[in-house]
Amino acid sequence: MSFRLSRLIVLLSLLGSMLALNLSAAAELQLGDLMRQLAQTRTARASFVEQKFIGMLDKPVESSGELSFTAPDQLEKRTLQPKPEAIILRGNELTLERGKRVLRASLLEFPDAAVFVESIRATLAGDQHALEAVWRVELDGSLARWTLRLTPLASNAYVNRIRIAGVRGEVRQIEIEQHDGDRSLMNITRLSAP
Protein backbone atom coordinates (compact mmCIF):
# COMPACT_ATOMS: atom_id res chain seq x y z
CA MET A 1 0.00 0.00 0.00
CA SER A 2 2.85 2.19 0.69
CA PHE A 3 5.07 2.30 -2.26
CA ARG A 4 3.95 5.66 -3.37
CA LEU A 5 5.14 7.12 -0.21
CA SER A 6 8.53 7.37 -1.50
CA ARG A 7 8.19 10.06 -4.03
CA LEU A 8 10.45 12.03 -1.95
CA ILE A 9 12.92 14.64 -2.67
CA VAL A 10 16.20 15.49 -1.37
CA LEU A 11 17.90 18.78 -1.35
CA LEU A 12 21.56 19.00 -1.63
CA SER A 13 23.56 21.12 0.72
CA LEU A 14 24.63 24.36 -0.77
CA LEU A 15 28.30 23.66 -0.45
CA GLY A 16 27.95 20.25 -1.97
CA SER A 17 26.09 21.41 -5.02
CA MET A 18 28.59 24.16 -5.75
CA LEU A 19 31.44 21.74 -5.49
CA ALA A 20 29.67 19.36 -7.80
CA LEU A 21 29.01 22.04 -10.33
CA ASN A 22 32.69 22.92 -10.50
CA LEU A 23 33.88 19.36 -10.78
CA SER A 24 31.50 18.09 -13.40
CA ALA A 25 31.28 21.00 -15.77
CA ALA A 26 33.57 19.47 -18.33
CA ALA A 27 33.19 15.70 -18.21
CA GLU A 28 30.09 13.62 -18.90
CA LEU A 29 28.12 12.93 -15.73
CA GLN A 30 28.90 9.57 -14.11
CA LEU A 31 26.29 7.77 -11.94
CA GLY A 32 28.81 7.56 -9.09
CA ASP A 33 29.29 11.32 -9.10
CA LEU A 34 25.54 11.96 -9.00
CA MET A 35 25.10 9.47 -6.19
CA ARG A 36 27.82 11.13 -4.15
CA GLN A 37 26.09 14.46 -4.71
CA LEU A 38 22.77 13.07 -3.57
CA ALA A 39 24.38 11.38 -0.56
CA GLN A 40 25.47 14.75 0.77
CA THR A 41 21.94 15.52 1.81
CA ARG A 42 21.15 14.38 5.33
CA THR A 43 17.77 16.06 5.73
CA ALA A 44 15.53 17.94 3.34
CA ARG A 45 12.04 19.40 3.04
CA ALA A 46 10.04 20.15 -0.09
CA SER A 47 6.52 20.86 -1.33
CA PHE A 48 4.98 18.75 -4.04
CA VAL A 49 2.16 18.73 -6.56
CA GLU A 50 1.22 15.35 -7.93
CA GLN A 51 -0.96 14.46 -10.88
CA LYS A 52 -2.28 11.01 -11.55
CA PHE A 53 -3.21 10.12 -15.10
CA ILE A 54 -5.70 7.29 -14.82
CA GLY A 55 -7.18 5.73 -17.91
CA MET A 56 -10.66 5.42 -16.43
CA LEU A 57 -10.84 9.12 -15.72
CA ASP A 58 -11.32 11.91 -18.23
CA LYS A 59 -8.72 14.13 -16.61
CA PRO A 60 -5.94 13.70 -14.06
CA VAL A 61 -6.57 13.94 -10.33
CA GLU A 62 -4.28 16.23 -8.44
CA SER A 63 -2.97 16.39 -4.90
CA SER A 64 -0.44 18.51 -3.07
CA GLY A 65 1.46 18.62 0.20
CA GLU A 66 4.88 18.33 1.78
CA LEU A 67 7.72 15.86 1.66
CA SER A 68 10.64 15.30 3.98
CA PHE A 69 13.60 12.97 4.02
CA THR A 70 16.05 12.16 6.79
CA ALA A 71 19.03 10.03 5.81
CA PRO A 72 19.46 7.20 5.59
CA ASP A 73 15.97 5.72 5.51
CA GLN A 74 13.21 7.95 6.77
CA LEU A 75 10.68 9.32 4.30
CA GLU A 76 7.56 11.27 5.06
CA LYS A 77 4.81 12.42 2.72
CA ARG A 78 2.06 14.66 4.05
CA THR A 79 -0.79 15.25 1.62
CA LEU A 80 -2.78 18.39 2.48
CA GLN A 81 -5.14 18.64 -0.53
CA PRO A 82 -7.74 17.40 -1.36
CA LYS A 83 -7.79 14.96 1.60
CA PRO A 84 -5.26 15.23 4.42
CA GLU A 85 -3.22 12.09 5.05
CA ALA A 86 0.33 11.22 6.02
CA ILE A 87 2.50 8.31 5.14
CA ILE A 88 5.73 7.66 6.96
CA LEU A 89 8.42 5.12 6.21
CA ARG A 90 11.09 4.33 8.82
CA GLY A 91 13.31 1.47 7.78
CA ASN A 92 10.80 -1.13 6.67
CA GLU A 93 8.02 0.07 8.92
CA LEU A 94 5.24 1.87 7.18
CA THR A 95 2.65 4.08 8.89
CA LEU A 96 -0.39 5.53 7.17
CA GLU A 97 -2.38 8.20 9.00
CA ARG A 98 -5.75 9.11 7.60
CA GLY A 99 -7.99 11.16 9.89
CA LYS A 100 -8.02 9.35 13.21
CA ARG A 101 -6.99 6.07 11.62
CA VAL A 102 -3.49 4.84 11.86
CA LEU A 103 -2.43 1.79 9.86
CA ARG A 104 0.89 0.05 10.27
CA ALA A 105 2.45 -2.42 7.93
CA SER A 106 5.81 -3.75 6.89
CA LEU A 107 7.38 -3.22 3.50
CA LEU A 108 8.44 -6.85 3.58
CA GLU A 109 4.85 -7.89 3.31
CA PHE A 110 4.78 -6.40 -0.16
CA PRO A 111 8.04 -7.35 -1.89
CA ASP A 112 7.14 -5.71 -5.20
CA ALA A 113 6.18 -2.49 -3.51
CA ALA A 114 9.37 -2.66 -1.47
CA VAL A 115 11.52 -2.76 -4.61
CA PHE A 116 9.75 0.31 -5.86
CA VAL A 117 10.00 2.27 -2.60
CA GLU A 118 13.64 1.31 -2.40
CA SER A 119 14.31 2.90 -5.79
CA ILE A 120 13.20 6.30 -4.59
CA ARG A 121 14.84 5.99 -1.22
CA ALA A 122 18.12 4.74 -2.64
CA THR A 123 18.15 7.65 -5.07
CA LEU A 124 17.53 10.14 -2.31
CA ALA A 125 20.17 8.55 -0.13
CA GLY A 126 22.63 8.31 -3.02
CA ASP A 127 23.00 4.56 -2.54
CA GLN A 128 24.21 3.36 -5.94
CA HIS A 129 24.72 -0.19 -4.75
CA ALA A 130 21.13 -0.59 -3.55
CA LEU A 131 19.78 1.01 -6.68
CA GLU A 132 21.67 -1.20 -9.11
CA ALA A 133 20.77 -4.34 -7.19
CA VAL A 134 17.21 -4.26 -8.55
CA TRP A 135 17.12 -1.70 -11.37
CA ARG A 136 18.72 -1.15 -14.67
CA VAL A 137 19.85 2.45 -14.34
CA GLU A 138 20.38 4.86 -17.25
CA LEU A 139 21.68 8.35 -16.70
CA ASP A 140 21.40 11.24 -19.18
CA GLY A 141 22.30 14.87 -19.10
CA SER A 142 24.72 16.89 -17.06
CA LEU A 143 24.89 17.51 -13.35
CA ALA A 144 23.12 20.81 -14.02
CA ARG A 145 20.15 18.91 -15.50
CA TRP A 146 20.08 15.15 -15.24
CA THR A 147 17.56 12.36 -15.80
CA LEU A 148 17.64 8.87 -14.28
CA ARG A 149 15.65 6.13 -15.99
CA LEU A 150 14.98 3.05 -13.89
CA THR A 151 13.68 -0.24 -15.27
CA PRO A 152 13.13 -3.18 -12.93
CA LEU A 153 15.53 -6.10 -13.47
CA ALA A 154 12.83 -8.55 -12.39
CA SER A 155 9.23 -8.00 -13.43
CA ASN A 156 7.39 -5.88 -10.91
CA ALA A 157 3.66 -5.95 -10.24
CA TYR A 158 3.31 -2.24 -9.78
CA VAL A 159 5.77 -0.38 -11.88
CA ASN A 160 6.90 -0.47 -15.45
CA ARG A 161 9.34 2.43 -15.45
CA ILE A 162 10.47 5.28 -13.22
CA ARG A 163 11.93 8.57 -14.41
CA ILE A 164 13.62 10.85 -11.92
CA ALA A 165 14.84 14.26 -13.05
CA GLY A 166 16.88 16.74 -11.08
CA VAL A 167 19.26 19.63 -10.94
CA ARG A 168 22.57 18.92 -9.22
CA GLY A 169 21.85 17.24 -5.87
CA GLU A 170 18.18 18.18 -5.99
CA VAL A 171 15.39 15.94 -7.28
CA ARG A 172 12.80 18.00 -9.18
CA GLN A 173 10.44 15.51 -10.77
CA ILE A 174 9.44 11.88 -10.39
CA GLU A 175 7.35 10.08 -12.94
CA ILE A 176 6.12 6.56 -12.33
CA GLU A 177 4.58 4.56 -15.09
CA GLN A 178 2.46 1.48 -14.48
CA HIS A 179 1.98 -1.47 -16.80
CA ASP A 180 -1.47 -0.31 -17.92
CA GLY A 181 -0.08 3.04 -19.04
CA ASP A 182 -1.45 4.92 -16.03
CA ARG A 183 1.16 7.21 -14.56
CA SER A 184 1.77 9.71 -11.83
CA LEU A 185 3.85 12.80 -12.18
CA MET A 186 5.17 14.63 -9.17
CA ASN A 187 6.79 18.04 -9.30
CA ILE A 188 8.91 18.97 -6.35
CA THR A 189 9.98 22.37 -5.06
CA ARG A 190 12.60 22.59 -2.35
CA LEU A 191 11.72 24.47 0.81
CA SER A 192 14.42 26.36 2.65
CA ALA A 193 15.37 24.80 5.97
CA PRO A 194 13.35 26.23 8.85
Partner 1 sequence: MPGTALAFLRRKPALLIWLASVLACLLVVLHTQFVADMSAFLPRNPDAEQRMLVEQLRDGTVARLMIIGIEGADAPARHRSSRALAASLRASQAFITVQNGEAAMLERDRAFYFNNRYLLSPAVTPERFSSEGLRSAISDSLDNLSGTTGMLLKSLLARDPTGETLNLIDDLQQQGGPRLAEGVWVSRDDSRALLLVQTRAAGSDTDGLAEAMQIIETRFKSSRSDPALRMVITGAGVFSVHSRDEIKAECTRLAGLSTLFVIILLLSVYRSLRLLALGMLPVASGALVGVTAVSLGFGNVHGLTLGFGTTLIGEAVDYAIYYFVQARHGSSEAAGQRRFWRTVSIGVLTSICGFAALLVSGFPGLAQLGLYSIGGLLAAVLVTRYVLPALLPAKLAMRDIRPLGARMARVAQQLVRLRGLLLALIIAAAALLLLRHGEIWNHSISALNPVPLAAQELDGQLRAELGAPDARFLLALNVADQQAALVAAEQLDPQLQKLVEQGLLAGYETPLRMLPSLATQSRRQAALPDAASLRSRLDSALQGLPLRADKLQGFIDDVAATRARAPLQRSDLDGTASALAFDAMVVQRSSGYSLLLPLRAPAAGIDAAAVRQALGTAQMPGLLLIDLRDQAETLYQRYLNEAITLSAWGLLAVILVIALSLRSLPRLLRVMLPLAGSVVLVMAGLLLSGHSLSILHLIGLLLTVAIGSNYALFFDQSGAQDAPEMQQRTLVSLVLANLSTVVGFGLLGSSSVSVLAALGVTVGPGALLSLLLAAAFAQQPDKTS
**Contacting partner 1 within 147-176 (CB under 8 A):** 158, 176
CB 188 within 8 A of CB 169: no
Could you tell me how many residues of this chain bind partner 1 (CB under 8 A)?
37
Which of 8, 34, 87, 174 contacts partner 1 by CB under 8 A? 87
Residue 50 lies near partner 1 (rule: CB under 8 A): yes
Can you give the three-state secondary structure of 98-146, one letter per residue? ECCEEEEEEHHHCHHHHHHHHHHHHHHHCCHHHHHHHEEEEEEEECCEE
Residue 119 lies near partner 1 (rule: CB under 8 A): no
Residue 26 lies near partner 1 (rule: CB under 8 A): no
Which of 15, 26, 82, 192 contacts partner 1 by CB under 8 A? 82
The H-or-E segment that residue 5 falls in is none
Burial grade of 82 (CB within 10 A; 0-12, 13-18, 19 or more): exposed
Cα gap 103→190, rounded to integer Å: 28
Stretch that binds partner 1, among 8-16, 29-37, 80-88, 137-145 (CB under 8 A): 80-88
Residue numbers of the site for partner 1 (CB under 8 A)? Answer: 1-2, 4-5, 50, 52, 54, 56-59, 61-63, 77, 79, 82-83, 85, 87, 92-93, 96, 98, 101, 103-106, 108-110, 158, 176, 178, 182, 184
